[in-house]
Amino acid sequence: MSDTTAMSDTAASRNLASCHVCCKLAPANLHACPRCGSALHLRKVDSLQRTLALLITASILYIPANVYPIMITDQLGASEESTILGGVVLLINLGSVPVAAVIFIASVMVPMGKFLAMYYLVWSVNSPQAASGRQRTVLYQLTELIGKWSMVDVFVVAILVALVHLGGILVIRPGVAALAFAGVVMVTMVAARSFDPRLIWDRLEETSD
């Protein structure tokens, strides 16, 4: 079934809005949910603008998250600061390949994938060259799902700090980049929640009329 056929009869076309708190369907002109009293909006207010602003903020935070050290290693009285990629290399040299792989995937591949996916979704809403509505909806769902696991590497560093203290020979401490990266994760999660995927189908409905 094509996207055009699937969206032939939508709640928005009937001027109905779903409450974001209790999910009750009610006329959009009520402005307040008749069940729980929450504000009623046909679509998330300024969804694209807020999502784009949050993505730009996360992109800016991602710079210090990679430039500044995320991990400080004290070994035999000498301190060595490591960025995300430097920490991956250091952990590989120390024989902790699985931990290095987790940090590389969660700190490099996942954030970059989320950035590309969310920027594409924002761009695609008003682009006739974008993929089908179903494909973009699946992409959004995957982005939201991945976002829940984006703090894995920060937890790994925290665990290393707590566990890796081998008689004063080796000590691992978190660096400034850990805080910046935590900010990236939180802001991108809020950006994903700010994006309203229903806008994808609204634009498709407008172009099909």
Measured in whole angstroms, how far is the alpha carbon of residue 157 from the centre of its chain? 20
CA-to-CA separations, 26 to 2, 17, 29, 42, 49, in angstroms, rounded: 28, 6, 9, 10, 26
The answer on 190 and 104 residing in a single domain is: yes
CA-to-CA separations, 20 to 44, 49, 104, 143, 179, in angstroms, rounded: 9, 19, 36, 20, 31
The answer on 87 and 74 residing in a single domain is: yes
The answer on 103 and 86 residing in a single domain is: yes
Structural domains in the chain (count): 2
* Residue range of the domain that includes 81: 46-208
* Residue range 142-200, pLDDT digits in tens: 888 876 666 665 666 666 555 555 555 667 777 788 888 888 888 988 998 889 888 88
The answer on 68 and 32 residing in a single domain is: no
The answer on 102 and 55 residing in a single domain is: yes
The answer on 78 and 37 residing in a single domain is: no
pTM (predicted TM-score): 0.75
**Which residue's structure tokens are 């056929």?**
5
The answer on 80 and 181 residing in a single domain is: yes
**Among 7-16, 58-67, 101-110, 137-146, where is mean pLDDT lowest?**
7-16
The answer on 34 and 1 residing in a single domain is: yes
The answer on 169 and 84 residing in a single domain is: yes
